[in-house]
Amino acid sequence: MPKGRKTKTASLMHERQYYAQGIRHIVGMDEVGRGTWAGPVTVGAVSLPIADAKLSTILRGVRDSKVMTPKQRTLLSERIKETAIAWGIGSATSGDVDELGIVPATKLAMQRALQDLAKRTPKFVPDCLFLDSLLWPEMKKIPQVSIVDGDARSLSIAAASVIAKVWRDNLMVELAKEFPNYDFEQHKGYGTAKHQAALKAYGPSPLHRMSFAPVRSLNE
């Protein structure tokens, strides 16, 4: 990083506004892999210690995972987990996506992320969910706040996006060993030209989402 340039960090403004109203356990949630042609859709859930005055410094550089380098994400993912009050990760498989549709499958992954968080921190009770540009009406028992561009504007949501991205990327690297023809370790299931060429050469694998048009068109 050039000298004098500050590393951007997602804001705590929204969290501190709600914390001032007595809402202590805010859980940021975000998904990755929603638009991929293969692999799961994965959701991170993170509750940060909002009262810690040094929180932004401790998590300096945590922002929208899409604009971070792999090295930055890996380093800060571990720091997020060490710093968080509670965290969890949930996924819905490509089979879930094909059976349910991408939006219901994403909500299933959200539910599984909260379940994972509850298992890791049994006494933790969420007071509020911070969601990135969506609401989750099926989850009526927990109040929700939808923040447009939340992974860039809320540190809790950004932290969730980082741990989800690192977890899913690592999974796709492992799955690439089982399905070496598709180069999943490189594109992580996204629709690159190389991925398209592999699909045409070898057809879809069990990891592919048959309900997605670029994959489905090969069988038509």
pLDDT given for residue 4 in this prediction: 41
Residue-averaged pLDDT of the chain: 94
Q: Which domains does the chain have, with CATH numbers?
A: 13-219 (3.30.420.10)
pLDDT given for residue 19 in this prediction: 96
pLDDT given for residue 1 in this prediction: 39
As a whole number of angstroms, the distance between CA 53 and CA 154 comes to: 16
Nearest to 210 by CA among 101, 91, 112, 92: 101
pLDDT given for residue 27 in this prediction: 98
Say yes or no to pLDDT of 184 above 50. yes
Q: Each residue of 20-53: pLDDT tens digit?
A: 999 999 999 999 999 999 999 999 999 999 999 9
Residue % of the chain over a pLDDT of 90: 89
pLDDT band of 7, cuts 50, 70, 90: low
Distant-in-sequence contacts of 91-96, Cβ < 8 A, 24+ apart: 91/40, 91/41, 91/42, 91/43, 91/168, 91/171, 92/40, 92/41, 93/40, 94/38, 94/39, 94/40, 94/206, 94/207, 94/208, 94/209, 94/210, 96/40
pLDDT given for residue 135 in this prediction: 86
Q: Each residue of 97-153: pLDDT tens digit?
A: 999 999 999 999 999 999 999 999 999 999 999 999 888 988 989 999 999 999 889
Say yes or no to pLDDT of 2 above 60. no
Residue type, 91: S
pLDDT given for residue 167 in this prediction: 98
